[in-house]
Chains A and B, each alone.
Chain A
Amino acid sequence: SAVISQKPSRDICQRGTSLTIQCQVDSQVTMMFWYRQQPGQSLTLIATANQGSEATYESGFVIDKFPISRPNLTFSTLTVSNLSPEDSSIYLCSIRDIPSYEQYFGPGTRLTVT
């Protein structure tokens, strides 16, 4: 399977600032997603990152708060804007292999907002 890397692996940010998370894949992939995992919780899909067009957001997530870029088939960024302590979570990049349906996750970015 493809290798997925994320930067940064963790960060501590102040309330009101923003954090941009990078996701790099070592091969071209069509389907790329961003998830949030709040402490001790399950995974929640934020959006599907579409190459060359706007991301598709899930209910409860908006572009102003979570802008996403997908400039090519190997890279995406998620920005978490106007941070509040409630944004403290792990943010995960994920890719799907279309023929097999198999979906893989990156190592995650642990964000703490103070």
Chain B
Amino acid sequence: QQQVKQSPQSLIVQKGGIPIINCAYENTAFDYFPWYQQFPGKGPALLIAIRPDVSEKKEGRFTISFNKSAKQFSLHIMDSQPGDSATYFCAASSWEYGNKLVFGAGTILRVKS
């Protein structure tokens, strides 16, 4: 119930493509869904986050789509660039569990130039 399942494990796209990373959860109490970007040797950086009262949120080239009924959310990266090559983690939290973040397994994205 506390798990967040992330897919795919790795992804290769051409520059300008739109990689899509998906996450699914079971716990309907989750009420906060952030995405993090991590470069090698660095800590994860908060990219964008969404709450279940909206179905989509955009920040620059990054978009979260949220499907409450399906208990799924996804990250889309528009016009992807080689500099977007990194590991991406989805996460979820619930006030029921002290708002502790539960992380997905991560997706290694490579954008080819």
Q: Which residues of A contact B (CB under 8 A)?
A: 1, 4, 33, 41-45, 48, 92, 96, 101-108, 110
Contact = CB atoms under 8 A, between A and B. Distances in A.
Given A42-B89, A42-B106, A106 B43 contact: yes
Interface string B20-37: 000000000000101010
A1 B42 CA distance: 17
Interface in B6-51: 32, 34, 36, 41-46, 49
A89 to B, nearest CB: 13
Contact of B100 (A45, A102, A107): A45
Interface of B: 32, 34, 36, 41-46, 49, 89, 93, 98-101, 103-106
Given A41-B105, A41-B106, 7 more contacts: A42-B105, A42-B106, A92-B43, A101-B49, A102-B34, A104-B46, A107-B42
27 contacts: A1-B46, A4-B43, A33-B100, A41-B105, A41-B106, A42-B104, A42-B106, A44-B103, A45-B100, A48-B98, A48-B100, A92-B43, A92-B44, A96-B99, A101-B32, A101-B49, A101-B93, A102-B34, A102-B49, A103-B46, A104-B46, A105-B36, A105-B43, A105-B44, A106-B43, A107-B42, A110-B41
Contacts of B93: 101
Given A92-B43, A107-B42, A108-B42, A101 B89 contact: no
Contacts of B36: 105
